Amino acid sequence: MTDPATLHLAEMCRLMKKGELKSVEIVESCLKRYEAFNDRLKAFISLDKEKVLAQARQMDTSRPDRPGQLWGIPIAVKDLIDVAGEITTQGSSFFRTAPAAEKDAPIIQRLKKAGAICFGKTNLHEFAWGGTSSNPHFGICRNPWNPDYIPGGSSGGSAAAVAAGIVPGALGTDTLGSIRAPSAMCGIVGLKPTYGLLPTDGIFPLGYTLDHVGPMVRSVSDAEFFFKALLTPEEQRRLNKIRRGGKVLALGKKKLKEIKIVLLPSLVQKNACHKAVWSGYLKSTAILREQGADVVEETIPDFDVAISTAFVLTLGKASEIHRERLAENPTGFGDDVRIFLEQGHLISAVDYIRAQRIRAKLVQEAKKLFQRVDAIILPTTPNPASRVGEPPDLLVARFNGPINLLGFPSLALPSGLTEDGLPVSVQIIAAPYHEYQLLEIAAVLEEGLSFPKEGPIFLHTQTG
Amino acid sequence: MEKKEFLLSLGEKNGLKIDPERAEKMAQSGGPLDMVQFIRTLLFRIDVSGYRPEDAPDFGWKEVKP
């Protein structure tokens, strides 16, 4: 029999619905993989094994006639998100022994309402402020494709856990690309929804109005399944209405023949991308064209400064959030985070207001562009994962951070492997609240890209 | 003011513990101070005439009537 933990989320749910799979079988299988891989990967900060097993047993015996979409499915949660009764460490020494959260963050309430089991809290870059997840307090999180490499960040533990098949899905958060960059580096799918669509209360902030929460999974159909499960019925109804009002995908070989997709070649070429990233990008655009999409080159005026703008806003906000901690105990932070927080004090009110005005301009320009087009395609990160211990890639948020500034939905999709066997990725960006269309385009592209379904080879060598 | 002195004064003003050794490191060419200065310069190259500061994007979700 197939190891249940290696099934994709949507397939697990289908088998559960048919009565061919039990929650306890899935959780036991996930726990086995946790035991096999977590010491090396350090994907999790905490996991109460007895508790998740007991929950799975209880859910198998109390399955209602109309269960939630994720009934009995284990989902890992980034340890920046409050789960009642558990400590939210935020990957930080400051909160290692903090009191447990008194209540679930609204996104966890939604997850539990859908029937999911919160399967542990995942490792992250300290306070989500960085892109390596080499956490000085809870261990260096590693990439399942090659543990000598980082998984990306800040939701590195969530990405590693999903890529390693420890869980079928995880929640991540994304301020400058923290869902999409680790998804790219670990060869999984990550969805950053429209700003404000999924609630971020009960999630420790980094950039407030740049912060998003979303699903990290192993396929586009899983992303759709998980995302829908996180929506209220009213939100589902509204998104459906928007979808019905949009262009319909065609049947047959030219599924995207009504769809107009934008390349931003000036932005992409200006920055040296790794050859595998570039090749995955070109391959993706070729597939979109083969599928009938009208792929055009466009520009968004002043988009080149979007990452600097997003960075200035995040520096200012994060440094205000941590002001007292930094003043009282600066050595309680890892050195990289401490430097970011000190840099935030170099941002003046004048800089901050300028950044806010640029944001207003870029959002307006992007809205204008989306009156003519349906999606943008960009690489997710300019480079694949770097080696553990190497200086962080300063360009890692180059293509992601600007999208947080816009607040538009974006999905990271694996587009290939480097010669060394590390994943690379493209991202598709759609107009606000057009997640369903985004997922449809991504599904067509995913089929054409044929990313290896067997997952990281390293894991196969470990399990024999 | 020298970069190092600027950082020491900034630290003092904001209650941050930036000692001379740390200030010197931050002030090195291409270091954290230079990086922020560079980014700030980019922001002021953009013409934002007609745009008011906006923090959270508002996409008119309410326009999608039930």
pLDDT digits (tens, 9 = 90+) for B6-53: 999 989 988 888 989 999 999 999 899 999 999 999 999 999 999 999
Disruptive mutation site among A195, A308, A352, A408 for chain B (greatest number of B CBs within 10 Å): A308
CA contacts within 13 A on the Cβ side of A243: 14
Residues of B in contact with A243 (CB under 8 A): none
Q: In what order do the strands lie in the sheet with A74-78?
A: A44-46, A117-122, A74-78, A169-174, A212-217, A189-192, A410-417, A423-430, A375-379, A260-263, A294-297
Q: Give the closest residue to A152 by CA, choosing from A412, A439, A416.
A: A412
Out of B10, B35, B53, whose CB is closest to A345?
B10
Tell me the shortest Cα–Cα distance from A308 to chain B, in angstroms. 6
Beta bridge partners of A387: A149
Tell me the shortest Cα–Cα distance from A381 to chain B, in angstroms. 20
Tell me the shortest Cα–Cα distance from B37 to chain A, in angstroms. 8
Q: Is A420 left (phi over 0), alpha (psi -120 to 50) or beta?
A: alpha
The structure tokens listed for A206 are: 């980094």
List CB contacts of B19: < 8 A, sequence separation 6 or more.
none
Model confidence at B66, in pLDDT bands (50, 70, 90)?
Answer: very low
Asked if the model's pLDDT at residue A117 lies above 70, the reply is yes
Tell me the shortest Cα–Cα distance from B3 to chain A, in angstroms. 12
pLDDT of residue A408: 97
DSSP annotation of A65: S
Can you tell me the distance from the alpha carbon of A124 to that of A144, in angstroms, rounded to the nearest whole number? 15
Q: Give the closest residue to A219 by CA, choosing from A456, A459, A442.
A: A442
Is the Cβ of B63 closer than 8 Å to some Cβ of chain A? Answer: no
Can you tell me the distance from the alpha carbon of A220 to that of A160, in angstroms, rounded to the nearest whole number? 17
pLDDT of residue A268: 81
The structure tokens listed for B16 are: 């941050």
Is the Cβ of B1 closer than 8 Å to some Cβ of chain A? Answer: no
Residues of B in contact with A194 (CB under 8 A): 59
Buried b (16+ CB within 10 A) or exposed e, B14-42: bebebeeebbebbbeeeebbebbeebbeb
Residues of A in contact with B39 (CB under 8 A): 308, 311-312
The structure tokens listed for A167 are: 């869980």
Buried b (16+ CB within 10 A) or exposed e, A22-51: bbbbbbbbbbebbebbbeebbbbbebeeee
Question: Catalytic positions of A, please?
Answer: 78, 154, 178
Which 3 state secondary structure label does DSSP give A183?
A: helix
Which 3 state secondary structure label does DSSP give A76?
A: strand
pLDDT of residue A249: 77
Q: Give the closest residue to A59 by CA, choosing from A76, A40, A74.
A: A74
Asked if the model's pLDDT at residue A259 lies above 80, the reply is yes
Q: Give the closest residue to A44 by CA, choosing from A105, A109, A133, A108.
A: A133
pLDDT of residue B1: 61
Percentage with pLDDT > 70 across chain A: 98
Can you tell me the distance from the alpha carbon of A192 to that of A408, in angstroms, rounded to the nearest whole number? 8
List all residues of chain A from 171 to 210 with a beta carbon under 8 Å from chain B.
194-196, 208-209
Asked if the model's pLDDT at residue A202 lies above 50, the reply is yes
Contact B46 A347 (CB under 8 A): no
Residues of A in contact with B42 (CB under 8 A): 305, 308
